[in-house]
Amino acid sequence: MPKKTLSAVGARQGGSRQARSGIHAVGGPVRGRVNLEPIRHQAWEIIDAILTDTNPDGSEIRNQLRRCLNKNRGNPERALLMHLMSLPGRSAPAVID
């Protein structure tokens, strides 16, 4: 996927794709930070694929994803998670942190 497209999505959302501080590795004592860049990059690729789809049947799904991105600026992995959890047949997780 071209970086130009990914950058365009990031620019539209007004957020940085740099890892947020304060996110720790899961399990065991916290010794360092998790590098979120690979996950963040994958999230942007998925988001970009959804938002650039031109199928009219998916317009509400794209709008829902945009709402999730607006609520989670600078945190595409969380926005994508919240979007996926909002799809029919899913329930939102009790706590995400």
Token pair recorded at residue 16: 């940085």
Token pair recorded at residue 33: 């930070």
Q: What CA–CA distance (Å, rounded) separates 87 from 64? A: 9
Give 20's Cβ-side CA count (13 Å radius).
15
14-71 pLDDT per residue, tens? 444 444 444 444 444 456 788 889 999 999 999 999 999 999 999 999 999 999 999 9
Does the pLDDT at position 75 exceed 90? yes
Q: Is the pLDDT higher at 87 or at 75?
A: 75
Q: Is the pLDDT higher at 96 or at 89?
A: 89
Q: For residue 90, what pLDDT is reported?
A: 63
Q: What CA–CA distance (Å, rounded) separates 35 from 74? A: 15
Q: What is the pTM of this model?
A: 0.59
Q: For residue 88, what pLDDT is reported?
A: 82
Closest CA to 78 of 90, 93, 60: 93
